[in-house]
Amino acid sequence: MARLLRVRRDQYDAFLQFEGEEHEVRSDDGAYLVAPWLFDGVTIANLNRVARRIMRHWGADPGDCDTEPIVFFVAADLHPDDYWMAVAEKAAPPITCEIHAGPGGVKVRAYATTGIAVEEARIVDIASFAAAQDRCRAVVNEGGKTATEALWEIDVELARRTGTVARLLTAAERVVAAIEARAQGLRPETAATALRAGHPEALVGAHENEWLEAKAAPWNLTVTAGKIELAQDVARLANAGGGLIVVGATTHKESGEDVIVRAHGIRPGSLSVRQVRAIIDARVYPVIEGLDLGIGQIRGSENVVAWISILPQPASAKPFIVHGAIVGRKVEGTFISIVRRRGEGSIVIGPREIHAWLAAGRRLISGDGPGEV
């Protein structure tokens, strides 16, 4: 059910009135400070009507293309008490983006930061692709540069003037997340940051590679095969240079490579961080240091995304051995397996290499040689 936004006018000001709220929002120098949760259920059309009423109150012509839009500064997601105090005291809490409503329609103006060397064409491509996932349009302008960073001004609007303001805000967040995650090439740390922020769709279009693995659904951890598969997935990245496993992202073969085409997430409660960690600790030896497991709500969705981030491990800890193996279709729970990453695939380390590691260890202990493989 849509929530209504109204405007109350007096001689000096035009106050915003949100359905279900006891307080009013007053303007400050022609702009309004709003909290994102105030717009839950408010439609684009409703906001545009309110903006036109405010324009008329201030003597402007809402039909004139040269009329300046009404600006709503969207505050960080503050507790309601803190937000209403900021409104009453005309304080300036952190601002996440702006909403502009006027003759040209309603758009969100957000800002993204990248390295100074990133070209505008690259930002435009990422922004356009990310916006299209939400049926939106994005316009990019350079917002300034420092010695090390570039600021980009991103205007996002719905392709059709229907829908809610909350949906538009979420779309703008996704565009910024995609730019900041991928503008300088997707890296484990930027990908993990996007996941923690609830924006797995920032990874859409990325190729699986030596450090990135995507799974559409969780492992079946009620059976031994699923537990071994989980342990092997983590161990193979630990045996390489570290990496990231994303659960809730679908891939599709394109030119022989697996590309993430959708980040739908998984149902809440379908995966337990505690259970996943316990299985990894029980089945992978030695213990993997700096293992980061998380489950986060996807912004604008009821689903969640899960991830396992594996830091690069010291050479002295390798190889990481998995208790259990899957030989063909047969589960061998008492066997051990050693797997490592090769590109987007995996290979099992065979008996010859295992024997070489053991022999090297014996030489090192006996003092017969450096113990290198």
Return the bridge partners of 138, or none: 156
Give which of 113, 110, 87 is closest to 97, Cα–Cα: 110
Domains detected in the chain: 5-182 (no CATH), 202-366 (3.30.950)
Q: For 117-130, what is each residue's pLDDT tens digit?
A: 999 999 999 999 99
| pLDDT tens, residue order, the chain (373 aa) | 679 999 999 888 999 999 999 999 999 877 999 999 999 999 999 999 999 999 999 888 988 888 899 999 999 988 999 999 999 988 889 999 999 999 889 999 999 999 999 999 999 999 999 999 899 999 999 999 999 999 999 999 998 878 999 999 999 999 999 999 999 889 999 999 999 999 999 999 999 999 999 999 999 999 999 999 999 999 999 998 899 999 999 999 998 889 999 999 999 999 999 999 999 999 999 999 999 999 999 988 999 999 999 999 998 898 899 988 776 667 766 667 777 665 444 455 555 566 666 667 666 666 655 544 4
Residue with tokens 């491990």: 313
Give me 213's structure tokens: 């693995």
Q: How far apart are CA 183 and CA 194, in angstroms?
A: 13
The pLDDT of residue 28 is 83
Q: 34 Cβ partners below 8 Å, 6+ apart? A: 16, 25, 72, 73, 74, 75, 99
The pLDDT of residue 256 is 87
Write 20-24 long-range contacts (CB < 8 A, 24+): 23/84, 23/87, 23/88
The pLDDT of residue 12 is 86
Q: For 75-100, what is each residue's pLDDT tens digit?
A: 998 899 999 999 998 888 999 999 99
